[in-house]
Amino acid sequence: MNREELQLRFDEGNQQRYFPDRRAVLECVLRVSTQSPHQRFEVWGEGERVPMANGRDGGRRFELREVLDLGEEGVRERIIRELEGLREE
């Protein structure tokens, strides 16, 4: 089974990391948020492949899936709850 790769963008878009699953993304958000002055994290997922004019595959494209703004009330707690649920699976 081919799993979707996720991209996390943070530090006002200046940094990005790639992850194999949502659990790894959420763990990184919680870890990095304690050190970053920017509390907005964007989660991107793979979209449709980009076709070139000659029909060949032009590569991957990522689409915005979710914004996790830890500056908003309750977001950090929701992430922690979701992470606990993912660890139980």
Tens of pLDDT along the chain (89 residues) come to 346 799 999 999 899 999 999 999 999 999 999 998 999 999 999 888 888 899 888 888 899 999 999 999 999 999 999 999 987 76
Locus of tokens 């509390």 = 39
Give 58's DSSP letter: -
Q: CA–CA separation, 56 vs 16, rounded Å?
A: 27
